[in-house]
Every structure is written in C-alpha cells, then in structure tokens.
Chains A and B, each alone.
Chain A
Amino acid sequence: AQSVTQLDSHVSVSEGTPVLLRCNYSSSYSPSLFWYVQHPNKGLQLLLKYTSAATLVKGINGFEAEFKKSETSFHLTKPSAHMSDAAEYFCVVTAGPGSARQLTFGSGTQLTVLP
C-alpha cells in the first residue's frame, strides 16, 4: 500500500519570495512521485515527475522538487513566487507494480500569493 501526506493545507507567500510545499510519502515499492497543479474550476496539470533517475527534478514554470528517500519526502519549491502560481497543488504517488489503481493523491495544498 502507499500513501501521501501534504503537510500544509494552506501556504501563503508574498510575490517574489520562495515557495515550499511539503509532501511525505510511504510506499512498499520504489515509488514514482508527481506534483500536479489545479487552477480554480480546471483540471489537473502535471508540474513534474520523479521516476528514479535524478533526485532533483525540474518541472514547468520554474518549479522543482527533490526526492529524499531517507526522509520519504518530495517537497516542491520555487525560488520566486508569481501571482499566477496561486492554485492548489497535489502530491501524488503511484501504486506498486501490478496495480491498476495507479495513483494516490494527497489532500492538496492551497497556495496564496500576496502582492
């Protein structure tokens, strides 16, 4: 079984300051991990994906995430927040091999960017 915990339901930052969205996971297998972003009343868009290659993953819109196996974490960061980054962010882990269920979603982190 696998699970994912997003440690903050809401994060608020000022425009131009760094963003940190925290995610811890558990998995019986070597996991694949994802971050998705959802703007209001929209579907989810893939930001980045980790699949056991480089532990530092770069995504779209300046976001990146670091896979830390010892800490079972996959935190999302961005050096400088932009107003357009305001959205909800989901950390996602895959199920183990042979499972058709595929993805387990965290409960989401709402990011607010203040002017």
Chain B
Amino acid sequence: DGGITQSPKYLFRKEGQNVTLSCEQNLNHDAMYWYRQDPGQGLRLIYYSQIVNDFQKGDIAEGYSVSREKKESFPLTVTSAQKNPTAFYLCASHSFQNIQYFGAGTRLSVL
C-alpha cells in the first residue's frame, strides 16, 4: 500500500535531549512537509523540502532541524533548543495533483 509512515507513534523527550521523528513515503512524491499541531489550533509549517538535498524553513523552524538525503525519507529532529516541544507532529507529501497526503502522526511529550 502506498502512503506515509511516521514512527514512532508516541515519543518522550528528556530535558536537554534531541529526538528524531521518522517520516517515510513510497508515493514517489518530490515534496515533503513537517507540521506541528497544538490543541485547538490548525497546522503550522515547520520545514518543507521540494527535492532531495534541499529544504526550507517554515513558520516555526526554530528548535528543529531536518535532512533530505533520500526522496523517500524526511526525518525531523527536535533539538534541546525547542523549549516547548509537546505537540502532535504530522508529516506529509505533496502530489502533482496538488494534494497533500498525511501520515498518522507522532505525539511528542516531555518527561
């Protein structure tokens, strides 16, 4: 089945720790996106990548980093500089028909 796979489903971060959220797609889409979702709010764009080895900051990139070494993979690292990381994180890829396909999300909490 084609789709977006995010792992893990739940993740806990300790103080001062960096954690990495995985996002893999087998839809052969060039563009991929990371969003943060907080309760009662819409999705806010963290980073996006239109092509391998290239990525751009979104609206709330501070405290996050990404890489795009392969077309299929777009991992997000939440660094210790992100002081309020507790949120639901969604990864998406973008089709030629201008539709975004979403993974099931990763819920990050702070211990």
A interface residues with partner B (beta carbon < 8 Å): 9, 32, 34, 36, 41-46, 49, 51, 90, 94, 100-103, 105-108
Residue of A36, A42, A102, A108 touching B41 (CB-CB under 8 A): A108
Q: Smallest CB-CB separation from B35: which chain A residue?
A: A105
- A51 vs B98: C-alpha distance in the bound complex, in angstroms? 9
Minimum CB–CB distance from B57 to chain A (whole Å) comes to 11
Which residues of chain B are within 8 angstroms of A41 by Cβ–Cβ distance?
88, 104-105, 107
Are A9 and B102 neighbours in the complex by a CB distance under 8 Å?
Answer: no
Q: Is the interface of B mostly helix, strand, loop or mixed?
A: strand
How many A-B residue contacts, CB cutoff 8 Å?
Answer: 55
Q: Are B40 and A9 in contact (CB under 8 A)?
A: yes
A44 touches B102 (CB 8 A): yes
The 27 listed contacts between A and B (C-beta, < 8 Å) are A32-B98, A36-B102, A41-B105, A42-B104, A43-B90, A43-B102, A43-B103, A43-B104, A43-B105, A44-B43, A45-B102, A46-B99, A46-B100, A46-B101, A49-B98, A49-B99, A90-B42, A90-B43, A100-B48, A101-B48, A101-B58, A102-B48, A102-B94, A105-B43, A107-B41, A107-B42, A108-B41
